[in-house]
Structure 1
Amino acid sequence: METLLPIIVQIVTGIIGGQAVGAAVKQAAMSQLPKILSGAIGGVAGGAILNSLMGGSIDPAAVAQAAGSLGSSLNIQNIVGGVGGGAILTAIVGAVMGSMKK
């Protein structure tokens, strides 16, 4: 469960980031399925990239001890990486889909 929970956090925050970009960029006119899929995939990718870049800067054991059992999964890399990655990939997919409609 300890390895699955960070991925779930990245997927959920990626979907949130994708929905935010989808709502902000109306000209893309994407349906819900592409926003959800691109947000989830981008969230996992963004979280993985940010975790690899900032891996040693925050001690997960200290965070887990301070915040309980979910602390290591709800760290800044998973949340910010998920939202950012989901938003970026959704914006790219929206731009591609928008240009294909023309």
Structure 2
Amino acid sequence: MSAVADVTDATFDEVVLKSGKPVVVDYWADWCAPCRQLSPILDELAGEYSDKITFVKLDTNVNTQVPLQQGVLGLPTVQVFVGGEVVKSFTGAKPKSTLLKALEEYL
């Protein structure tokens, strides 16, 4: 079972924007090959750091409002939210080392 929870257009505000700790949002789609490469890396990070950071994924096939509101133009996109604001954003599959470096100030 994945340590990365699903979030939807309906639950995004509550789970991400109102979170008391940093949230990593993975915008993905089942047809996206780089998304499939990134998923196990995020699962691993979530398993290691879920006590400090919340990790969620949003399926852009069925949830179209939030990606539009957040300016997501390509997949996969990873956004880091702190206090309801995007503080970091990446598009494209990234290695674990790059993601860890981006998250180190929150760990």
Superposition TM-score, scaled by structure 2 size: 0.26
Largest Rg, 1 or 2: 1
Which has more strand, going by share of residues? 2
Which has more helix, going by share of residues? 1
Q: State the structure with bigger RCO (CA 8 A, min sep 6), 1 or 2.
A: 1
